[in-house]
Amino acid sequence: MRFRIKLITVDEDGSERMHSVAELDRDSTLRLETTGLTLAEGKQILKHLQEVVVEEQVEGCVAQHRHCAICSKPLSTKGHHQIKLQTVFGNLQIRSPRLRCCPCSEGDRTKSFSPLAQVLTERSTPERLYLETLFASLLFPTGRRPNCLRSCCPRTSN
Ligand SMILES: [Zn+2]
């Protein structure tokens, strides 16, 4: 038996994109050790799901800033840089474009900007920070903070 896990992105205009997340194979004979997902499979599926969701969110954010807010001309790309983001479901490397400001806004001293860097101002999501702090306070009240999420969440350390 084979299982295919797909994610469908639905835009505000109703258009859809399908992403393949994972495929699982199981014997047709039910056995205790192959019933349901393993921890490793669950972690891998969540990690890939997180990557696809964030990729779609990033594309949407960048698309919203691709045109000048004053004259609507498209903004050219000056380059890219990587943004590292730690989430509960894995650490991500996000390719972040730097966009040139439109000539119509030359009064503004800024010549370029990164839409993602303006939004992703921290390197960890609030939920990730909360869980790390909670686990650390429960397990290590002396203040030592090992990566406690490693055992239950996908790739939480780099
Ligand atoms: Zn403009």
Q: 16: which 2 tokens?
A: 């859809």
Please report the pLDDT score of residue 7 as a whole number: 97
Between CA 124 and CA 149 the distance in angstroms is 13
**Could you give the percent of the chain with pLDDT greater than 90?**
74
- pLDDT over 70 at 134, yes or no: yes
Please report the pLDDT score of residue 158 as a whole number: 47
Please give the model's pTM, rounded to 2 decimal places: 0.80
- CB-based burial, 33-46: b 16+ in 10 Å, e otherwise: eeeeeeeeeebbbb
Q: What protein residues have CB closer than 5 angstroms to ion ligand 1? A: 68, 70-71, 102, 104
- Selection from 135, 137, 133, 134 nearest residue 148 by Cα: 135
Please report the pLDDT score of residue 144 as a whole number: 58
Ligand 1 centre distance from Cα of residue 126 (Å): 35
Ligand 1 centre distance from Cα of residue 43 (Å): 45
Please report the pLDDT score of residue 140 as a whole number: 73
Length of the chain, in residues: 158
DSSP-based helix, strand, coil % in the chain, nearest 5: 35, 30, 35
Please report the pLDDT score of residue 11 as a whole number: 92
The radius of gyration computed from the CA coordinates of the chain, to the nearest angstrom, equals: 21
Is 50 within 8 Å of 90 (Cβ atoms)?
Answer: yes
Residues 97-118 have pLDDT tens digits of 999 999 888 666 778 999 999 9
Ligand 1 centre distance from Cα of residue 106 (Å): 9
**Could you give the percent of the chain with pLDDT greater than 70?**
87
Residues 30-73 have pLDDT tens digits of 999 889 999 999 999 999 999 999 999 999 999 999 999 899 99
- pLDDT over 70 at 148, yes or no: no
Between CA 34 and CA 25 the distance in angstroms is 10
Q: 92: which 2 tokens?
A: 């991500």
